[in-house]
Amino acid sequence: MLRSPLALSFLVLACAASLVAATPSVIPLWPEGVPGAPLNGGTEYIQDDRVYNVQVPSLTLLAPPAGTANRTAVIICPGGGYARLAVSVEGNPTAQWLNSLGVTCFILKYRMKEFGHPAPLRDVLRAVRLVRSRAAEFGVDPERIGVFGSSAGGHLASCAATLFDHAEGKTGHTLDAVSARPAFVILQYPVILMDGPHLHRGSRENLIGKNPTAGLVGLLSTDRQVTAQSSPAFLVHTAEDVSVPLENSVAFFTALRRAGVPAELHLYEKGPHGFGMRRDLGPTSEWPGRCASWMRSHGWVK
């Protein structure tokens, strides 16, 4: 097990991958102090290219090659069941692809089971507010900030799409006045359901415990939180996913359609859970092209 300093662990992963053109920089998410931080929460560490025990949330900025930025930004939420962050599979490769489209990326290192709800929700909403409030500095359009999430990170992205103004996502800081609504979300094999036969039990237990209240289950079953104001969404899932069944994506897409929110759903036959940006899955590996076309149709990329 390799241990690394809190502020550097994400930077180490991003640099080691050598997948992006620009040197990444780490931006503290809570410079005024992490809300609810314990006196001794232990040491953040990296094991098997995954980040564990996040105590100090941050954003890692990964810019597209010079002269190619199109003023769209995406905050990337890697998955890991709210127990770890799979940055090497669902962070850096995703940023490389989005950078190639001219998109400025921010990989979110969010709090997980050590804190539980509402810490992850607060982290993703603070990330949107922070990027929006500093849009001119980052060279992005404040109205073109999206969130990408895979697996449990997809659940967090779906929370941003639906709970962007919820009281539990605020801390009383002046940044709470900045809108946290993403312009769009991209959900890759997302966790959506918090009950029923198709839930991912590990994600639920890590986020809200083994015996959550009915209120928490309902709040964080994000298909139930969709309204006409929810963010447009692109979803991709596979029939071979036995960890997070595709019914999760179908439920969210159905709710968006019922509310009249623009959405596109791509279901593929082949591909295990966690396929990320793999190129050896036949038609499934074509999903980034479909997503890029969807983004172009809305004017988020050229």
Q: What is the pLDDT of residue 4?
A: 40
Q: How many domains does the chain fold into?
A: 1
Alpha-carbon distance of 85 to 57, in angstroms, equals 12
Q: What is the pLDDT of residue 227?
A: 98
Terminal CA-to-CA distance of the chain, rounded, Å? 43
Mean pLDDT lowest among 22-31, 50-59, 189-198? 22-31
Instruction: Report CA-CA distances (Å) from 34 to 111, 131, 252.
Output: 10, 17, 31
Alpha-carbon distance of 201 to 205, in angstroms, equals 6
Alpha-carbon distance of 148 to 153, in angstroms, equals 8
Is there a domain that residue 250 lies in? yes
Other C-beta atoms lying within 10 Å of the C-beta of residue 101: 19
Rg (CA), the chain: 17
Burial of 40 (0-12, 13-18, 19+ CB in 10 A): exposed
Is there a domain that residue 138 lies in? yes
Alpha-carbon distance of 236 to 231, in angstroms, equals 16
Is 249 in contact with 187 (CB distance < 8 Å)? yes
> Residues of 249-269 as b/e, b for ≥16 C-beta within 10 angstroms?
bbbbbebbeeeebebbbbebe
pLDDT in tens, 224-282: 999 999 999 999 999 999 999 999 999 999 999 999 999 999 999 999 999 999 999 99
Is there a domain that residue 202 lies in? yes
Amino acid at 239: A
Is there a domain that residue 302 lies in? no
What is the band of 21 on the pLDDT scale with cuts at 50, 70, 90?
very low
pLDDT in tens, 170-208: 999 999 999 999 999 999 999 999 999 999 999 999 999
What is the band of 24 on the pLDDT scale with cuts at 50, 70, 90?
confident
Average pLDDT, the chain: 93
Find the domain containing 116 and state its range. 2-297
Alpha-carbon distance of 69 to 63, in angstroms, equals 8
Question: Which is more confident, 78 or 18?
Answer: 78
Is there a domain that residue 38 lies in? yes
Question: What value does the mean pLDDT take over residues 194-223?
Answer: 97
Reading across the β-sheet that carries 2-3, which strands appear in turn? 2-3, 45-47, 50-52, 84-85
- Domain containing residue 146: CATH number: 3.40.50.1820
Largest CA distance in the chain: 51
Question: Which is more confident, 149 or 88?
Answer: 149
Q: What is the pLDDT of residue 23?
A: 58
Tokens linked to 256: 């968006």
